[in-house]
Amino acid sequence: ENGGYRLRWFTPAAEVKLCGHATLASAHTLWETGRLPRDKRAEFYTLSGVLTAEREGDLITLCFPAYKLVPAEPLPGLAAALGVEERDIKEVFFYADNALVRLRDEAVLRTLSRILPH
């Protein structure tokens, strides 16, 4: 489509607006199969707009849309769901269909890395 590719992502329950891993895999597949020359940028038309991928040696750089962060109050139960105390949540922002949680300090984040599955 317009020199690029239409790209959509689905879970078992719904279509999602953005999936970085699948975008990376799609670009890699296009280059590895020769459908797209390795020196050409991959352009994907998605529900999130145009996403691009470029090769830089053995690395791939992805360019995703920038979202405006909207400050918000923590949702009830958010701290418990994250396994932290209410006081550990410094800020909450919403963007697209997601939330970004800024924690009080790095020590709180490190406790999460010990309790969350890897």
Number of separate domains in the chain: 2
**Rounded to 5°, angle at Cα 26 from 25 and 31:** 95
pLDDT in tens, 93-102: 998 778 889 9
User: Does 56 share its domain with 80?
Assistant: no
Q: What type of residue sits at position 75?
A: L
Q: What is the mean pLDDT of residues 86-93?
A: 94
d(Cα 88, Cα 108) in Å, to the nearest integer? 7
User: Does 81 share its domain with 58?
Assistant: no
Range of the domain at 49: 5-63
Structure tokens at 1: 């489509």
So what's the pLDDT on residue 54? 97
Structure tokens at 46: 């998605």
Please tell me the least confidently modeled range out of 13-17, 18-22, 65-69.
65-69
Query: 53 and 24 in contact (C-beta within 8 Å)?
Result: yes
User: Does 55 share its domain with 9?
Assistant: yes
User: Does 74 share its domain with 59?
Assistant: no
**Residue labelled with tokens 């590719």:** 5
- Answering whether pTM is above 0.85, one says no
* Residues ≥6 apart with Cβ < 8 Å to 91: 71, 101, 102
User: Does 9 share its domain with 58?
Assistant: yes
